[in-house]
Amino acid sequence: MEVELERATMEVDLEQIAVEAELEQAAVEIELEQVILYRSSSKFLSCRSCVSSTFVPCVAALCLAFRRLGALGFLSMTALWFTCPVIVAFIFSSGEFLVSLVGHALGQTPMRDLDSYSWVQEDVKLHGSVATDLDIILFFRDSVSIACEGVKKDYKCILCLSSDRGCFVGAAPVYSIVDYGAKSDGRTDSTKSLQAAWEAACGSSGSATIYVPAGSFLVRPVTFNGPCMSSRITFRIDGALVAPSGYSGAGELIVFDHVEGVSLYGGTIDGRGSALWACKAAGGRYCPRGSTSLTFRNSKDVVISGLTSVNSELYHVVIDYCERVLVHGVRITAAGSSPNTDGIHVQGSNDVTITSVSIRTGDDCISIGPGTTNLWIEQVACGPGHGISIGSLGKGYEEKGVENVTVKTTVFTGTQNGLRIKTWGRPSEGFVKGVVFEHASMQNVHNPIIIDQNYCPSHKGCPDKNSGVKISEVTYSDIHGSSASQVAVNFDCSATNPCIGIGLQDIKLTYGRSTAESSCNHVDGTASGFVMPPSCI
């Protein structure tokens, strides 16, 4: 039977299924596709797209058989062989990839962000490869819980079918902040309610979910500290967490510190930064630096998915000294004139993946600080803003380097920079090595490709104007579009530590009706394929 890979929603009468069901007249929506691994050592998978709901009755019957009959459900699978040939054949022929099947009851709170779940998957191979196991997940409201991760809100997974794990049933507690006194009026301080829900979830055994329902919840600076007893905590937000009006010198609004296995799904964080921006624009002498909206520090195995961050006073999302982090489907917005409102800042972290994000700010869309290794950035829409920047680096002498960074499939619109590496013009032991920029589209970008090793704001603190940061093995491939300045490719490297191993391949950048140009200082490398403007390397 041919399977059409398309979104399908249809009503299914579960009373017609061979196995008696407790759910009647349930309308389900099915999401199905292979799950792609994001990082080599990551535990994070993603599923997208859908399949014709021809599968629904068969999978529902199989799921309910497992639920009601336990181990005897395997016999039900055999019985379904002839009644559901497509499902069974698909299950046993899918050894080359892992599949997630997700359904939910229509007419109730819809499940959003279906394309990002966290799994405990141990035999993970290389980036871009696919798993060799098979999982089928069917979600219904008010059903029993299962030992699957990434369950949304009060939806419960009632089936985990796997060649080596079978079916496991358990319960995952949900801690709603409303049960701890939070009010969704945007005026009542809900900080203590959030902390109480966190402490309950953190102290629970197994998995737990903290739930922020629809509405606006006022939150003041708060830190969620670990380590926790709970092996995995899901922070599900359907409403908005809103900072106080005005501004203070708090520095950070929401912080997760020393946590492991925390997943944050959906919702909005509103930093309400316009008052501070106005203070800075007016040249006020007593304007505080501002607060970052969301920070993960010293943490591991983190997922941030489907979050919307608006109007942060300072950086929107900060990944600080973390390992194995996935940021997916995030939307970040601030005024184009807002100062220092970087979208996502990563520093001192290893194995971070950022995918499918849209960022419109007054500063860098994504900034990469010292000590960052194994960073993967893909599918980014950036602008307005200052582009994607490695740096600034080299302000401190004993600063750690940046290594193994991939930035691909990006679109820059009206930004100050596109792909930038920026280092201070002062001595440093820092370095940048092993960077790949590929498949980037530039739309009226002032500096589409730039390395600036003479960064020295206000001409202070740069004694000899020569950067000690060593830049090597940086490649630019398939970069095209329009430049807002005539110099579309600018390599201004250190006189004492020239850039080496710089590669240009298939570059096509234009400048209005004039000819775009390249500029090179202290750089060595190669150019191949069609390169416009002509290479100066």
> Catalytic residues, which ones?
363, 386
Both structure tokens of 263: 């997943």
What does the alpha-carbon distance between residue 290 and residue 505 come to, in Å, rounded to a whole number?
A: 41
The angle subtended at Cα 171 by Cα 207 and Cα 16, nearest 5°, is 130
Question: What letter represents residue 174's amino acid?
Answer: V
Taken in order 451, 457, 462, 465, the sign of the CA dihedral is: positive
> On the CB side of 359, how many CA atoms lie within 13 Å of its CA?
35
Distances (CA, A) of 124 to 1, 121, 371: 31, 7, 25
What does the alpha-carbon distance between residue 250 and residue 254 come to, in Å, rounded to a whole number?
A: 11
Asked whether 247 and 288 are in contact (CB, 8 A), the reply is yes
Question: Which distant-in-sequence residues (6+ apart) come within 8 Å of 139 by Cβ?
Answer: 102, 103, 104, 111, 151, 152, 155, 156, 157, 158
Question: What letter represents residue 316's amino acid?
Answer: H
What does the alpha-carbon distance between residue 436 and residue 475 come to, in Å, rounded to a whole number?
A: 5
